[in-house]
Amino acid sequence: MLQSTGIVNTREDSRFHISAHHCAGRTDSARAAWRSILRGLPDTTPPDISDSDPLGTDSSPGDDLNEAESAVLADVALGSVDPKMSSTAMDEMRSARRRRRIGDVAWGDLAYRVYTTALACLVFAVFASGWVGDSELSAASQTSAQKFGPVWAGLFAGLVLLLGVRSGTRAGPIALESADVYHLLLAPISRSRVLRRPAVGVVGYGVATGVAVGALVGSLCSQRLPGSTFEWLLSGALFGGAAAALALGAALITASRRVPRPWIELLAWALLIASVVAVAGYSPFAPLTLLGQILFWPLSFSLLPLLLVGLAIILAVVGLMIVGGLSIELAQLRTRLVGQLRFAVTQQDLRSVLLLRKQLASERPRNKSRFARLPIRFGGRFPVFTRDVQSFGRWPWVRVLRVTVLGLGAALCLYGAWSGTTPLILLAGLCTYVAGLDVIEPLAQEVDHPMMLASYPEPAGVILQRHLVAPVVVMVLVGCEGLLLVWVLHPSVNIIAIGAITVITAATTAVAGASISVVSEAVLDAGDAAMMPPEVTGPRVVIRTLWPPLVAVIGVTPILVAQRAMRLGNDPIPPALTLAIPILVLAGVVFMWVKYREDLHRTMGEAMGAKT
């Protein structure tokens, strides 16, 4: 109940009414509205506004109603919408647009894209096949595959399911055109009818992709495990298709808002966690392991998993039936961003991908900072650091959580590497790199706004370099929480010492790697890229993509040398310290590159110009 302002009419139930008060027969008012317009036909001269007081100042609402009713019949009466006719109109419009699009297609360009895509898939399949090898696994390995394979496959299915549900919370998986949101979803036609076709397209495409990928995985399995290739192809295809149908069905149901979203998300998380626990060996079974068993049918056949296949089909069908409950607000946002996101991905524009992904998830900075304002003098002396702290203070909770989880994840991976699973350092490095991409947001903002950067009375490189200090501090704090977790799991002085060394190196290299990704996006001379031959561009893109996370991975390697020293019975700290020095030098080199990148580029350009 709102307080009366003395101006606005208050109502008992605080509802905003656009209501037809005194509306007996008022439903025909729209018909009358168009009759009044038609009274102006065929004379199309605009009315002389200056002589009248047009918009209601000289009449009360509805004064002209009787006069209007006596006028010519309107072209279209209100309330004459026939759902079948509307559906037909929509279908014909879509067909016409489709024909027009097909007519506009550059077939040569399309054929080339199909060719390159097929070629890339073929190369990948051959590469994967060679990597997997073709010698049959030993009996022990086969037993292990039969025991753990379905669990891992179930984990993968759980991950895909969770991704589908999260997509559904953002009005996915359908991405409509902007004009469709306005002209179809706001039209007087059933929204289920409007959305069903694109939803069927998305589900069909998704399931087909799942089938193809599953079949590929199955064929790779057939190289090392007993059973015919056909059996493996079939089981892989069925697993891939079922996982895709499960995820997409769950996504559509979530997007429909007919089932409370928190419940669906909770269920998806519960299923994933159950699979993680099963993979870790703390539980003999997880629900999605049943689905994973399909992939390994050639080793052990059971009809029980078909229950989950049936469930996946039911979810997909139900999702398609109730798709009309989609949120227009979220659909509009998704529409706007998905197109840009796809373009950014094709351009390998990592910065745009990250920004758009955050917008898609409605991850907005807080309006009010969590931190009190720093003292004026401090801000005056260290303006860049102060600006960065203000940025961190506006992090939404989801970002704080994400960076925290990544830090803890990196710590657990390093603990796993310390315990003997060496490949986990790759995952640890990736976690720190991804966290680094979040913490260097102020640097990224500077790179995004070159005009503002150019307006400051200091060289751009100097300012960019100063933006690296606060992120390193934040990453050290994140590392410390991870170290605390590891110490809880394994209280030991060596853990603390080696952990502290690794925290410092990991924090600096994570920021260094992330800054390479972001600063490299800033194009210093568009002509350079345009003139490069494909033989150079290709490797350049690969190096630009792989080098930054590799720098982050290098930062966590002190843990490995320390582990080796421990195994040999030596003191682990000196080797870790020894390795830490060149790692910090590497990070320092990157920080200097950030500062002098423009100067280096200019010098090289001048040198090239002098040669020619």
Partner 1 sequence: MAKEYGDVGALAPVDLSVMAGEAIVLVGHNGSGKSTLLSIIAGMLEPSEGTVLVHGQPPDSVYARERRSWLPDTPVLYDDLSVREHMEYTIRMHGGQGDEPIIDDLIKRLGLADREDDLPSQFSRGLRQKAAAAVALVRPFTLLLVDEPFVGLDVAGREALLGLLEEARRGGATVLVATHDPAVISRFKRGLVLDDGHVVHDGTAESLHAYLSADVTHGET
d(CA 309, CA 294): 9
The only residue of 132, 137, 189, 374 in contact with partner 1, by rule CB under 8 A: 189
Query: Rounded to whole angstroms, what are the CA distances from 485 to 408, 416, 438, 479, 574?
Result: 7, 13, 22, 10, 24
Query: Rounded to whole angstroms, what are the CA distances from 332 to 176, 177, 185, 326, 400?
Result: 8, 9, 10, 10, 27
Task: Kindly identify the residues of this chain, within the stretch 105-144, that bind partner 1 according to CB under 8 A.
Answer: none
Which listed range, 321-329, 379-387, 431-439, 597-605, lies at the site for partner 1 (CB under 8 A)?
Answer: 321-329
611 CB-near residues (< 8 Å, 6+ apart): none
How long, in residues, is the chain? 612
SS3 of residue 334 by DSSP:
helix
Which of 297, 350, 14, 41 lies closest to 146, judged by CA? 297
Give me 208's structure tokens: 């087909």
**Using rule CB under 8 A, residue 337 touches partner 1:** no
The only residue of 132, 145, 187, 469 in contact with partner 1, by rule CB under 8 A: 187
**Using rule CB under 8 A, residue 457 touches partner 1:** no
Residue 200 CB, shortest distance to partner 1, in Å, is: 21
Which listed range, 99-107, 142-150, 242-250, 432-440, lies at the site for partner 1 (CB under 8 A)?
Answer: 99-107
d(CA 532, CA 544): 15
**Using rule CB under 8 A, residue 606 touches partner 1:** no
d(CA 301, CA 293): 8
**Using rule CB under 8 A, residue 483 touches partner 1:** no
**For partner 1, the closer CB: 48 or 535:** 48
**Using rule CB under 8 A, residue 339 touches partner 1:** no
Which of 368, 354, 403, 604 lies closest to 510, judged by CA? 403
The only residue of 119, 205, 332, 581 in contact with partner 1, by rule CB under 8 A: 332
Which listed range, 322-330, 381-389, 490-498, 575-583, lies at the site for partner 1 (CB under 8 A)?
Answer: 322-330
Residues that contact partner 1, how many (by CB under 8 A): 89
Structure-derived torsion over alpha carbons of residues 320, 324, 328, 331, reported in degrees to the nearest 10? 10
**Using rule CB under 8 A, residue 15 touches partner 1:** yes
**Using rule CB under 8 A, residue 336 touches partner 1:** no
**Using rule CB under 8 A, residue 455 touches partner 1:** no
**Using rule CB under 8 A, residue 611 touches partner 1:** no
Residue written as token pair 């799991």: 489
**For partner 1, the closer CB: 100 or 377:** 100
Task: Kindly identify the residues of this chain, within the stretch 26-85, that bind partner 1 according to CB under 8 A.
Answer: 26-27, 29-38, 40-42, 44, 46-47, 49, 53-57, 59-62, 64-65, 68, 74-82, 85
8 A C-beta contact, residue 272 and residue 158: yes
Residue 318 CB, shortest distance to partner 1, in Å, is: 21
**For partner 1, the closer CB: 60 or 135:** 60
d(CA 119, CA 399): 39
**For partner 1, the closer CB: 144 or 178:** 178
**Using rule CB under 8 A, residue 580 touches partner 1:** no
Task: Kindly identify the residues of this chain, within the stretch 142-181, that bind partner 1 according to CB under 8 A.
Answer: 177-179, 181
Residue 322 CB, shortest distance to partner 1, in Å, is: 15
Which listed range, 96-104, 125-133, 488-496, 590-598, lies at the site for partner 1 (CB under 8 A)?
Answer: 96-104
Q: Sketch the per residue contact string, 343 through 372, with partner 1: x for CB under 8 A, - otherwise.
A: -------------------x-x-xxx----
Count of Cβ atoms closer than 10 Å to residue 580 Cβ: 19
**For partner 1, the closer CB: 198 or 549:** 198
Give me 124's structure tokens: 């990948």
**For partner 1, the closer CB: 90 or 403:** 90
Q: Long-range contacts of range 423-429, CB-CB < 8 Å, 24 or more positions apart?
A: 425/553, 425/556, 425/557, 425/559, 425/560, 426/553, 428/506, 428/553, 428/556, 429/506, 429/549, 429/550, 429/552, 429/553, 429/554, 429/555, 429/556
426 CB-near residues (< 8 Å, 6+ apart): 553
Residue 257 CB, shortest distance to partner 1, in Å, is: 10
Measure CA 174 to chain center.
14
8 A C-beta contact, residue 507 and residue 435: no
Task: Kindly identify the residues of this chain, within the stretch 370-429, that bind partner 1 according to CB under 8 A.
Answer: 396
Give me 390's structure tokens: 């203000």
The only residue of 51, 70, 100, 455 in contact with partner 1, by rule CB under 8 A: 100
Residue 139 CB, shortest distance to partner 1, in Å, is: 58
Which listed range, 17-25, 134-142, 199-207, 571-579, lies at the site for partner 1 (CB under 8 A)?
Answer: 17-25
**Using rule CB under 8 A, residue 303 touches partner 1:** no
Residue 95 CB, shortest distance to partner 1, in Å, is: 12
Which listed range, 25-33, 400-408, 496-504, 569-577, lies at the site for partner 1 (CB under 8 A)?
Answer: 25-33
**For partner 1, the closer CB: 41 or 607:** 41
d(CA 552, CA 555): 5
